[in-house]
């Protein structure tokens, strides 16, 4: 059994389970009440807040518990935008933020605000200069994840925070993927987190707003959690979240070394055992437990299915999977291959044997999917010195497979014109060219779909 998708949700940490069970008897009453059961609940809530604040590196009165990481992001973004409305309605986000941040940005835009997306490099990282360039006099808020959830790349949060601080603009850091590993460095203003990512229970998020940041909670008023998180507090889960954050932090330094070695094995060996693979994300500045690669000529969902049958649970940024944004906006922003994409995110405590077994199983799984997809090119027409591949009506990764099959049929310097109507081709054909050292000339509208032009270079 290899559950390798802790970036989606981690199994419950034993300390979380213990704390949850222990506080079910003490934490069910209303902490706003003055009788004994209420006072007991309040004590648990206060202690959990202190513990979480210590782990985050903030004051207890700066931290509230929300019902999820997504809620923390939605409330945090909306609260700062409203609090700083007089400054302006401009919002900056990176192009590779979690969907919760991008959806909050969409909502802001729909409400009349403006949004700038900061681009990333091929490793998935932003740079502080790009944030500096995006800042405007009417910028109310900038958002940057601490590390990317799909490829593990760490962002230069401290540098971006410094740039924002100089401009007097608060920076909201979505720390969902990294908070279990350590506090976020730098002069951030708002921070969000999600307990089930570090082995805490579902139903608990963190929203930290530094003193001095103008914040106006949105939505109907509610006096709980400083007015920033409506609804009755889920105290047993909050206690479990705080306890497990402390527990994973105590093991973090050692476990980071161990998991980094395991993901390094995957990074190094996958390209050796699987042909036509691109490992994506920053090889050095990255989270310990995440490694992501894309396999040419592979349908992501079919590969996930094969791996599931072999006992491995991973996720994919390819289209046709049940993820939020398809194909992955992260891979798209990085300009890397999205087809046959696999994200491995190892939970705390993953045994090395499981990773070894995964590396044994993977080549056969990829080969099996490729074999099933190995359809012959249905029609090729040489028109002048251009070879036309008609992939209309065919889904990713077929257009790329057909391109690869015919590239050898045109002379060096000749063109292949791929007709396709699956949008994934727009990402995958340039990425294939990059991997294969061929020249991607560009796209143009065709009678049906889009024509993608590739010049044979070698």
Residues that bind a second copy (CB under 8 A): 3, 5, 8-12, 17, 20-21, 24-25, 27-30, 32-38, 67-71, 74, 99-100, 103-104, 106-107, 194, 196, 201-203, 205, 219-223, 230-237, 301, 304-305, 307-308, 312-315, 321-324
Spatial CB neighbours of 219, under 8 Å, sequence gap ≥ 6? 75, 78, 230
For the record, the structure tokens of 276 come out as 């036509």
What token pair was written down for 2?
Answer: 């290899």
Task: Give the nearest distance from C-beta 74 to a second copy in angstroms.
Answer: 5
Residue nearer to a second copy on the CB measure, 71 or 329? 71
User: Two tokens at 290?
Assistant: 């995440």
Nearer to a second copy, 11 or 271 (CB): 11
* Contact (Cβ atoms closer than 8 angstroms) between residue 299 and residue 393: no
Q: Calculate ∠ Cα 336-341-342, nearest 5°.
A: 130
Supply the minimum distance, in Å, between the C-beta of residue 21 and a second copy: 7
Q: How far is the CB of 285 from a second copy (least distance, A)?
A: 26
Q: How far is CA 88 from the centre of its chain?
A: 28
Taking the complex as a whole, the smallest distance from the CB of residue 20 to a second copy amounts, in Å, to 8
Residue 203 CB, nearest approach to a second copy (Å): 3
C-beta closer to a second copy: residue 70 or 391: 70
Query: Which is it for the CA torsion 101, 65, 345, 159, positive or negative?
Result: positive
Query: In the structure encoding, which two tokens stand for residue 220, read together?
Result: 């109907």
In angstroms, what is the minimal distance from the CB of 214 to a second copy?
A: 19
Which tokens belong to 312? 């491995």
Residue among 85 and 448 whose Cβ is closer to a second copy: 85
Q: How far is the CB of 407 from a second copy (least distance, A)?
A: 33
Nearest distance from C-beta of residue 194 to a second copy, angstroms: 7
| Dist CA 192 CA 190 (whole Å) | 7
Nearest-angstrom CA–CA distance, 293 and 379: 31
Cβ proximity to a second copy: between 46 and 409 the closer is 46
Beta bridge partners of 238: none
Q: With respect to a second copy, which residue has the nearer C-beta, 35 or 411? A: 35
Whichever of 72 and 274 has its CB closer to a second copy, that residue is 72
- Rounded least distance, CB 29 to a second copy, Å: 5
Beta bridge partners of 206: 65, 193
- Do the beta carbons of residue 375 and residue 334 sit within 8 Å? no
**Residue closer to a second copy (CB basis): 9 or 380:** 9
Between the alpha carbon of residue 199 and those of residues 11, 16, 73, 94, 179, the distances in Å are 6, 7, 19, 27, 11
Backbone angles phi, psi at 443, to 5 degrees: -120, 160
Across the strands, what pairs with 180? none
- Per the DSSP assignment, residues forming a β-bridge with 147 are 154
Q: Does a cis peptide bond (omega within 30 degrees of 0) precede residue 327?
A: yes
- What's the length of the chain? 458
Catalytically annotated residue among 58, 164, 295, 320: 320
Query: For 145, left (φ over 0), alpha (ψ -120 to 50), or beta?
Result: beta
> Are 6 and 347 in contact, with CB atoms under 8 Å apart?
yes
Eight-class DSSP state of 57: T
Angle between helices 398-406 and 424-436 (to 10 degrees): 40
For tokens 């590779």, what's the residue? 96
Q: Is 320 a catalytic residue?
A: yes
Rounded-to-integer distance, Cα 182 and Cα 175, Å: 10
Of 8 and 117, the one with the shorter C-beta distance to a second copy is 8
Which residues belong to the active site? 320
């Amino acid at each position: 059994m290899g559950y390798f998708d802790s970036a989606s949700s981690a199994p419950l940490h034993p300390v979380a389970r213990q704390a949850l069970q222990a506080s079910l008897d003490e934490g069910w009453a209303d902490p706003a009440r003055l009788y004994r059961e209420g006072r007991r609940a309040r004590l648990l809530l206060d202690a959990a807040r202190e513990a979480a604040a210590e782990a985050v590196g903030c004051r207890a009165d700066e931290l509230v518990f929300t019902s999820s990481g997504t809620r923390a992001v939605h409330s945090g973004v909306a609260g700062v935008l409203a609090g700083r409305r007089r400054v302006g309605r401009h919002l900056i986000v990176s192009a590779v933020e979690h969907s919760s941040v991008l959806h909050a940005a969409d909502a802001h835009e729909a409400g009349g605000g403006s949004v700038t997306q900061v681009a990333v490099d091929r490793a998935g990282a932003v740079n502080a200069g790009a944030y500096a360039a995006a800042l405007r006099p009417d910028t109310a808020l900038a958002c940057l994840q601490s590390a990317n959830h799909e490829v593990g790349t760490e962002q230069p949060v401290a540098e971006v925070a410094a740039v924002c601080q100089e401009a007097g603009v608060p920076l909201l850091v979505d720390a969902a993927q990294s908070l279990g590993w350590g506090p976020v460095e730098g002069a951030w203003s708002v921070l969000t987190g999600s307990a089930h990512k570090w082995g805490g229970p579902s139903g608990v998020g963190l929203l930290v707003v530094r003193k001095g940041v103008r914040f106006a909670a949105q939505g109907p008023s509610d006096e709980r959690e400083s007015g920033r998180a409506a609804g009755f507090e889920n105290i047993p889960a909050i206690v479990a979240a705080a306890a497990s954050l402390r527990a994973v932090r105590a093991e973090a330094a050692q476990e980071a070394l161990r998991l980094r070695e395991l993901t390094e094995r995957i990074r190094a060996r996958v390209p050796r055992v699987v042909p036509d693979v691109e490992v994506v994300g920053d090889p050095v500045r990255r989270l310990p437990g995440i490694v992501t690669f894309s396999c040419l000529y592979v349908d992501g969902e079919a590969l996930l299915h094969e791996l599931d049958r072999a006992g491995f649970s991973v996720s994919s940024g390819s289209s046709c999977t049940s993820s939020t944004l398809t194909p992955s906006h992260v891979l798209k922003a990085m300009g890397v291959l999205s087809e046959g994409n696999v994200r491995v995110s190892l939970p705390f405590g993953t045994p090395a044997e499981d990773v070894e077994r995964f590396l044994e199983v993977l080549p056969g799984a990829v080969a099996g999917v490729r074999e099933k997809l190995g359809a012959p090119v249905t029609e090729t027409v040489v028109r002048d010195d251009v070879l036309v591949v008609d992939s209309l009506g065919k889904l990713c990764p077929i257009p790329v497979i057909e391109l690869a099959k015919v590239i050898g049929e045109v002379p060096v310097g000749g063109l292949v014109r791929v007709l396709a109507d699956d949008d994934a081709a727009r990402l995958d054909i340039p990425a294939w060219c990059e991997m294969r050292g061929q020249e991607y000339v560009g796209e143009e509208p065709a009678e049906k779909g889009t024509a993608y032009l590739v010049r044979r270079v070698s």
